[in-house]
A and B are shown apart, each in its own frame.
Chain A
Amino acid sequence: MIVQTVLLVGLVLFSVLALIVKDLLRAAISLALASLLLGIVFFRMRAPYAGVFEISVVAGLITVLFILTIALTNAGEEVREARLANVVFPLFFVVFIAIDAFVMKGLLQKIPAVPGAPESGAFGEVLWKGRTLDLVGQIAVILAGVFSVLALFRKRDKHE
Protein backbone atom coordinates (compact mmCIF):
# COMPACT_ATOMS: atom_id res chain seq x y z
CA MET A 1 0.00 0.00 0.00
CA ILE A 2 2.97 2.32 0.64
CA VAL A 3 4.15 2.13 -3.00
CA GLN A 4 0.56 2.66 -4.14
CA THR A 5 0.21 5.76 -1.91
CA VAL A 6 3.49 7.19 -3.23
CA LEU A 7 2.25 6.66 -6.80
CA LEU A 8 -1.08 8.33 -5.98
CA VAL A 9 0.69 11.31 -4.36
CA GLY A 10 2.80 11.62 -7.52
CA LEU A 11 -0.35 11.43 -9.63
CA VAL A 12 -1.97 14.31 -7.72
CA LEU A 13 1.27 16.35 -7.77
CA PHE A 14 1.74 16.03 -11.53
CA SER A 15 -1.95 16.77 -12.12
CA VAL A 16 -1.76 19.92 -10.02
CA LEU A 17 1.46 20.87 -11.82
CA ALA A 18 -0.35 20.49 -15.15
CA LEU A 19 -2.97 22.94 -13.89
CA ILE A 20 -0.69 25.61 -12.44
CA VAL A 21 2.43 25.64 -14.65
CA LYS A 22 2.38 28.61 -17.04
CA ASP A 23 3.89 26.99 -20.12
CA LEU A 24 1.23 24.87 -21.87
CA LEU A 25 3.78 22.43 -23.31
CA ARG A 26 5.06 21.64 -19.82
CA ALA A 27 1.46 21.29 -18.66
CA ALA A 28 0.82 18.68 -21.39
CA ILE A 29 3.96 16.76 -20.41
CA SER A 30 2.93 16.85 -16.72
CA LEU A 31 -0.45 15.44 -17.76
CA ALA A 32 1.33 12.61 -19.61
CA LEU A 33 3.42 11.81 -16.53
CA ALA A 34 0.26 11.79 -14.39
CA SER A 35 -1.30 9.33 -16.87
CA LEU A 36 1.80 7.16 -16.68
CA LEU A 37 1.57 7.01 -12.88
CA LEU A 38 -2.16 6.26 -13.09
CA GLY A 39 -1.38 3.43 -15.51
CA ILE A 40 1.13 1.95 -13.03
CA VAL A 41 -1.51 2.24 -10.27
CA PHE A 42 -3.92 0.30 -12.53
CA PHE A 43 -1.29 -2.39 -13.11
CA ARG A 44 -0.79 -2.75 -9.37
CA MET A 45 -4.56 -3.10 -8.87
CA ARG A 46 -4.42 -6.20 -11.08
CA ALA A 47 -6.06 -4.39 -14.00
CA PRO A 48 -3.43 -4.80 -16.76
CA TYR A 49 -5.73 -4.01 -19.69
CA ALA A 50 -6.84 -0.70 -18.21
CA GLY A 51 -3.17 0.06 -17.42
CA VAL A 52 -2.08 -0.68 -20.98
CA PHE A 53 -4.86 1.50 -22.39
CA GLU A 54 -4.08 4.32 -19.94
CA ILE A 55 -0.37 4.34 -20.76
CA SER A 56 -0.54 3.81 -24.52
CA VAL A 57 -3.65 5.81 -25.37
CA VAL A 58 -3.89 8.54 -22.72
CA ALA A 59 -0.19 9.07 -21.99
CA GLY A 60 0.76 8.55 -25.64
CA LEU A 61 -1.91 9.49 -28.14
CA ILE A 62 -3.74 12.20 -26.19
CA THR A 63 -0.45 13.90 -25.26
CA VAL A 64 0.52 13.97 -28.94
CA LEU A 65 -2.88 15.53 -29.77
CA PHE A 66 -2.38 18.15 -27.03
CA ILE A 67 1.13 19.02 -28.20
CA LEU A 68 -0.12 19.24 -31.80
CA THR A 69 -2.88 21.65 -30.76
CA ILE A 70 -0.46 23.78 -28.74
CA ALA A 71 1.87 23.94 -31.75
CA LEU A 72 -0.97 24.81 -34.15
CA THR A 73 -2.49 27.52 -31.98
CA ASN A 74 0.79 28.91 -30.68
CA ALA A 75 -1.10 31.38 -28.53
CA GLY A 76 -1.01 29.88 -25.09
CA GLU A 77 0.83 32.74 -23.51
CA GLU A 78 -1.31 35.65 -24.62
CA VAL A 79 -4.38 34.68 -22.59
CA ARG A 80 -4.33 36.76 -19.45
CA GLU A 81 -5.46 34.71 -16.49
CA ALA A 82 -7.07 36.37 -13.52
CA ARG A 83 -4.30 37.09 -11.02
CA LEU A 84 -6.51 36.16 -8.10
CA ALA A 85 -7.10 32.66 -9.55
CA ASN A 86 -3.39 31.81 -9.39
CA VAL A 87 -2.99 33.18 -5.88
CA VAL A 88 -6.09 31.49 -4.48
CA PHE A 89 -5.39 28.04 -5.98
CA PRO A 90 -2.73 26.82 -3.44
CA LEU A 91 -4.88 28.07 -0.59
CA PHE A 92 -7.99 26.43 -2.04
CA PHE A 93 -6.15 23.17 -2.63
CA VAL A 94 -4.70 22.94 0.89
CA VAL A 95 -8.10 23.69 2.45
CA PHE A 96 -9.77 21.21 0.08
CA ILE A 97 -7.26 18.45 0.96
CA ALA A 98 -7.79 19.12 4.68
CA ILE A 99 -11.59 18.94 4.33
CA ASP A 100 -11.22 15.87 2.10
CA ALA A 101 -9.08 14.06 4.70
CA PHE A 102 -11.46 15.08 7.50
CA VAL A 103 -14.53 13.81 5.59
CA MET A 104 -12.81 10.53 4.63
CA LYS A 105 -11.83 9.96 8.26
CA GLY A 106 -15.45 10.53 9.28
CA LEU A 107 -16.72 8.18 6.58
CA LEU A 108 -14.38 5.28 7.50
CA GLN A 109 -16.35 2.01 7.83
CA LYS A 110 -19.64 3.85 7.32
CA ILE A 111 -20.25 3.08 3.65
CA PRO A 112 -21.47 -0.51 3.37
CA ALA A 113 -20.26 -2.69 0.51
CA VAL A 114 -23.29 -3.80 -1.49
CA PRO A 115 -23.18 -7.58 -1.75
CA GLY A 116 -22.72 -8.86 -5.27
CA ALA A 117 -21.92 -12.07 -7.07
CA PRO A 118 -18.19 -12.77 -7.41
CA GLU A 119 -16.81 -12.57 -10.93
CA SER A 120 -15.37 -15.42 -12.85
CA GLY A 121 -13.89 -15.91 -16.30
CA ALA A 122 -11.48 -13.91 -18.35
CA PHE A 123 -11.44 -10.17 -19.07
CA GLY A 124 -12.37 -10.76 -22.70
CA GLU A 125 -15.58 -12.56 -21.73
CA VAL A 126 -16.65 -9.74 -19.41
CA LEU A 127 -15.71 -7.09 -21.98
CA TRP A 128 -17.50 -8.62 -24.97
CA LYS A 129 -20.27 -10.78 -23.51
CA GLY A 130 -21.34 -8.59 -20.59
CA ARG A 131 -21.87 -5.56 -22.80
CA THR A 132 -24.10 -5.53 -25.82
CA LEU A 133 -26.06 -2.29 -26.11
CA ASP A 134 -23.32 0.02 -24.82
CA LEU A 135 -20.95 -1.45 -27.40
CA VAL A 136 -23.24 -0.07 -30.13
CA GLY A 137 -23.20 3.27 -28.29
CA GLN A 138 -19.41 3.18 -28.15
CA ILE A 139 -19.15 2.56 -31.89
CA ALA A 140 -21.56 5.47 -32.45
CA VAL A 141 -19.41 7.75 -30.27
CA ILE A 142 -16.23 6.82 -32.19
CA LEU A 143 -17.97 7.43 -35.52
CA ALA A 144 -19.38 10.73 -34.25
CA GLY A 145 -15.82 11.75 -33.26
CA VAL A 146 -14.45 10.87 -36.70
CA PHE A 147 -17.24 12.72 -38.54
CA SER A 148 -17.01 15.78 -36.30
CA VAL A 149 -13.26 16.09 -36.90
CA LEU A 150 -13.84 15.67 -40.64
CA ALA A 151 -16.58 18.31 -40.57
CA LEU A 152 -14.46 20.75 -38.59
CA PHE A 153 -11.47 20.50 -40.91
CA ARG A 154 -13.23 20.35 -44.27
CA LYS A 155 -12.10 22.72 -47.00
CA ARG A 156 -14.50 25.59 -47.53
CA ASP A 157 -15.95 26.27 -51.00
CA LYS A 158 -14.91 29.55 -52.63
CA HIS A 159 -18.41 31.03 -52.72
CA GLU A 160 -19.12 30.10 -49.10
Chain B
Amino acid sequence: MSNTWYVYLFFSAALIGAGVYTLLAKRNLIRLFIAIEIIGKGVSLLLLATGFARDNILLAQALVVTYIVVEVSLVATALAIIINVYRHTKSLDIRKLAKLKG
Protein backbone atom coordinates (compact mmCIF):
# COMPACT_ATOMS: atom_id res chain seq x y z
CA MET B 1 0.00 0.00 0.00
CA SER B 2 1.08 3.59 -0.57
CA ASN B 3 2.64 5.65 2.22
CA THR B 4 -0.40 7.94 2.31
CA TRP B 5 -2.56 5.01 3.38
CA TYR B 6 -0.50 4.55 6.56
CA VAL B 7 -1.21 8.16 7.54
CA TYR B 8 -4.95 7.46 7.29
CA LEU B 9 -4.48 4.19 9.18
CA PHE B 10 -2.66 6.08 11.94
CA PHE B 11 -5.45 8.65 12.34
CA SER B 12 -8.27 6.13 12.22
CA ALA B 13 -6.47 3.99 14.83
CA ALA B 14 -6.24 7.12 17.03
CA LEU B 15 -10.00 7.71 16.68
CA ILE B 16 -10.84 4.08 17.43
CA GLY B 17 -8.44 3.98 20.41
CA ALA B 18 -9.94 7.12 21.99
CA GLY B 19 -13.46 5.77 21.43
CA VAL B 20 -12.73 2.35 22.93
CA TYR B 21 -11.11 3.92 26.01
CA THR B 22 -14.18 6.10 26.60
CA LEU B 23 -16.50 3.12 26.14
CA LEU B 24 -14.58 1.29 28.86
CA ALA B 25 -14.08 4.16 31.31
CA LYS B 26 -17.09 6.50 31.22
CA ARG B 27 -20.56 6.04 32.69
CA ASN B 28 -22.81 8.59 31.01
CA LEU B 29 -24.99 6.87 28.38
CA ILE B 30 -24.90 9.80 25.92
CA ARG B 31 -21.12 10.03 26.27
CA LEU B 32 -20.82 6.30 25.55
CA PHE B 33 -22.89 6.78 22.43
CA ILE B 34 -20.67 9.67 21.29
CA ALA B 35 -17.74 7.26 21.69
CA ILE B 36 -19.50 4.72 19.43
CA GLU B 37 -20.01 7.47 16.83
CA ILE B 38 -16.29 8.31 16.94
CA ILE B 39 -15.34 4.65 16.46
CA GLY B 40 -17.69 4.66 13.44
CA LYS B 41 -15.94 7.73 12.06
CA GLY B 42 -12.58 5.97 12.33
CA VAL B 43 -13.92 2.93 10.49
CA SER B 44 -15.50 4.95 7.67
CA LEU B 45 -12.28 6.98 7.27
CA LEU B 46 -10.29 3.75 6.96
CA LEU B 47 -12.78 2.28 4.46
CA LEU B 48 -12.57 5.30 2.20
CA ALA B 49 -8.79 5.62 2.57
CA THR B 50 -8.33 1.99 1.52
CA GLY B 51 -10.56 2.55 -1.51
CA PHE B 52 -8.60 5.71 -2.33
CA ALA B 53 -5.24 3.95 -2.07
CA ARG B 54 -6.36 1.04 -4.28
CA ASP B 55 -8.21 3.16 -6.88
CA ASN B 56 -11.49 1.60 -5.81
CA ILE B 57 -13.01 4.82 -4.53
CA LEU B 58 -16.47 4.23 -6.01
CA LEU B 59 -17.03 0.95 -4.16
CA ALA B 60 -15.61 2.39 -0.93
CA GLN B 61 -17.88 5.40 -1.33
CA ALA B 62 -20.92 3.15 -1.81
CA LEU B 63 -19.99 1.28 1.39
CA VAL B 64 -19.55 4.50 3.37
CA VAL B 65 -22.90 5.87 2.14
CA THR B 66 -24.54 2.59 3.18
CA TYR B 67 -22.86 2.80 6.58
CA ILE B 68 -24.07 6.39 7.10
CA VAL B 69 -27.67 5.44 6.27
CA VAL B 70 -27.55 2.51 8.69
CA GLU B 71 -25.89 4.77 11.29
CA VAL B 72 -28.86 7.17 11.24
CA SER B 73 -31.22 4.29 11.96
CA LEU B 74 -28.94 3.10 14.75
CA VAL B 75 -28.67 6.58 16.29
CA ALA B 76 -32.45 7.14 16.23
CA THR B 77 -33.10 3.79 17.95
CA ALA B 78 -30.31 4.14 20.49
CA LEU B 79 -31.29 7.68 21.48
CA ALA B 80 -34.92 6.58 21.85
CA ILE B 81 -33.74 3.80 24.17
CA ILE B 82 -31.64 6.30 26.14
CA ILE B 83 -34.68 8.59 26.60
CA ASN B 84 -36.73 5.62 27.80
CA VAL B 85 -34.00 4.54 30.20
CA TYR B 86 -33.95 8.09 31.58
CA ARG B 87 -37.72 8.04 32.07
CA HIS B 88 -37.48 4.79 34.06
CA THR B 89 -34.38 5.41 36.16
CA LYS B 90 -34.31 9.26 36.21
CA SER B 91 -30.62 9.03 35.46
CA LEU B 92 -28.21 8.46 32.59
CA ASP B 93 -25.80 6.47 34.74
CA ILE B 94 -25.02 3.13 33.13
CA ARG B 95 -24.48 1.51 36.55
CA LYS B 96 -28.17 1.94 37.32
CA LEU B 97 -28.92 -0.47 34.48
CA ALA B 98 -27.20 -3.28 36.35
CA LYS B 99 -30.34 -4.00 38.35
CA LEU B 100 -32.62 -6.22 36.30
CA LYS B 101 -36.27 -6.67 37.16
CA GLY B 102 -37.93 -10.08 37.09
Using a CB–CB distance below 8 Å, which chain A residues touch chain B? 1, 4-5, 8-9, 11-12, 15-16, 18-19, 24, 27-28, 31, 34-35, 38, 41-42, 45-47, 49-50, 53-54, 57-58, 61-62, 65-66, 68-70, 72-73, 75-76, 78-82, 85, 88-89, 92-93, 96-97, 100-101, 104, 107-109, 111-114, 116, 118-119, 121-123, 126-127, 130-131, 134, 138, 141-142, 144-146, 148-149, 152-153
Contact = CB atoms under 8 A, between A and B. Distances in A.
A123 to B, nearest CB: 5
21 contacts: A5-B7, A12-B18, A19-B38, A31-B38, A34-B41, A45-B48, A50-B44, A53-B64, A53-B69, A69-B79, A72-B86, A88-B25, A96-B14, A107-B6, A108-B3, A118-B55, A123-B61, A127-B61, A142-B70, A148-B77, A152-B81
Interface string B52-86: 11111111111011101111111111011111101
Interface residues of B, number: 69
A62 B37 contact: yes
Given A12-B15, A16-B18, A104 B64 contact: no
Interface centre among B4, B27, B51, B77, by most chain A C-beta atoms within 10 angstroms, is B77
Contact of A131 (B6, B56, B62, B64): B62
Contacts of B35: 19
Contact of A93 (B18, B52, B90): B18
B77 A145 contact: yes
Given A27-B31, A53-B65, A73-B30, A121 B17 contact: no
B48 A50 contact: yes
A41 B34 CA distance: 20
Contact of B69 (A24, A47, A76, A142): A142
Interface string B83-96: 11010001111000
Interface of B: 1-4, 6-11, 13-15, 17-19, 21-22, 25-28, 30-31, 34-35, 37-38, 41, 44-45, 48-49, 51-62, 64-66, 68-77, 79-84, 86, 90-93
